Chain A
Amino acid sequence: MTEQARPPTLEMRGITKRYPGVVANDHIDLDVRPGEIHALLGENGAGKSTLMNILYGLATPDEGQILMDGVPVTIRDPNDAIDRGISMVHQHFMLVPVLTVAENILLGDEPMANPIFLDRVAAHDRIRELGKQFGFEVDPDAKVGNLSVGWQQRVEILKALYRQANILVLDEPTAVLTPQETREIFAVLRQLTSEVGTSVIFISHKLYEVLDVADRITVIRRGKVVGSRVPAETNEEDLAELMVGRDVNLTVDRGESHPTDIMLVANEVRVNDDRGHEVVHGVSFEVRAGEIFGIAGVAGNGQDELVESITGLRRTTGGTLTLAGESIATASPRELHAHGVGFVPADRHRFGLVLSFPLTDNIVLNDYQSEPYSRGLVRDADAIRARTEACVTEFDVRTPSTAVPAGTLSGGNQQKLVVAREFGRDLKLLILDQPTRGLDVGSVEFIHSETIKRRDKGTAILLVSAELDEVLELSDRIGVMYRGELVAIVDARSADKEEIGLLMATGGKVGSDATKKMTTELEQAS
């Protein structure tokens, strides 16, 4: 399967890529041998997708080199990548929903009956052929938008196979698949590598899958390679430790919490996403006044929709939500605000701020219509300015004045502005969604300490974050969200970081024993 004598099919040396404020890839080295399945493992934001985008020509590295079969190459755009036999299956499908399977597969590489017209017959034949070879019979004339997610994934893979890829990159391919579909995809991958000699790069954050299917595993954390393993020589705990790191950066002393009355109760809450699929499957938890309940989990497991349903921006499809005993499932954002609910949204540019408006307008975004900020139609500019200045001072928002547009503030100060607005009232319940994403250390520290202060004043706080460190640092109790379910609720004092990391990545349902069972099944199938 691997030949030591030949140069690696692909080598990426010292790849570095910087974006404003963060180093996405920090001198990353990677080599992939012919016919191997090489897994890239890491948390959200670790830099895996950036690296592959560079490989596929969707981004250019600031430093570093790419070599294929030992020869340095430049890849400027996807066409270059495709010409060199690199095919990529993106995490968010690059499929056009209104076109058919055949049309999606052929796009860019169409077989022509003559200079103008497509040779649909040839295309159909080739697609069916490929499908048979690898075990999926897909109807070339079906509209992709009507296919299930699992089948769409297969179409994406067929796209790559159709182009006879030498190197196939799969970005989180099993994120949306059922275990059954996952097994089938893995069988295809093995067939590809052993029969055809394709090399596969498999990006994932799912430990057991990676252990299952990869020949080699490279772990990336915060933009750097932190380790390389062979599955036989490692296990889930080892990988989890590499992924999340052992040290927890404690920036604040949490102190003891003194929870009192139950504030927020979620009971069997179900929520759909924008496409109508259920993404929150009966979640139940409660948050008491004076405590911080943190929900940990990889982004995309239903947290956004859950938070939106609690804050009145999305309807629930089942279950109940109550605040201090009153149902809030159908409450509007304004009603919730009046009931003492504060919300720091994950996307501050969308729900949190109006970037072109001055700080003053942003501070009163939720209160502009009530006294003292306005009386009927007339706004009281002085009252608004006074409140803004108080907020700016109290929350240390660095700004030359309160009249500048919010968009001129740095990310950290923008977030502090939102926090100032939401924190600066008597609150029963405070919801924080990714509150420190992309912020500098100073702002993070500040927001964390303010959060603890509010907790001690008796506010019930719900924290949702993909940053495990943050959740561990602030929460009194921790829940782990995986595929739309709350798979565990633990006391923070006794929580083990690696254990939680494992829960985030596996849902706790698949442990080492189950992994072994799956491996055996697959071996028997192939």
Chain B
Amino acid sequence: MTSIVAPVAGKVVGLAGVPDPVFAEGMVGPGSAIDPVRGPGVAVAPISGVVRKLHPHAYVIVDAEGRGVLVHLGIDTVKLDGEGFQLLVEEGARVAAGAEIVRWDAGSIEEGGRSPICPVIALDADPARVTVTAGDEVHTADPLFTWK
């Protein structure tokens, strides 16, 4: 079983709380979503593994079993072209769950007219094997969901 931790602190809104139908309907995969605490912060690795893909606004970590977890920092943030995001690791780096990955500011994303909600997705996972374990609020690196 893989235990996925919260990449950011905030309110657990679930995928249904993501203002984007593709995420909300679970098309990217099962998981959860966090409405992050506004202000400058650091998004961390949701699992231990290798940073397979690192964009300013999104990253994928793959664990030793080949399971990948996507963290997407805000919605439509691909269009910011990296502005407001500072990468703290390099693609290919081996990281532990909770390791700092991207410095960003959820408040400034919102001020720019975009939702800062962060979907956290178990890629290629069977939805029946993913169980959200977090309560209403999480601190960074608190347990978020499990993947059996």
User: A and B: partners?
Assistant: no
Binding site for B on A (CB under 8 A): none
- B contact residues vs A (CB 8 Å cutoff): none
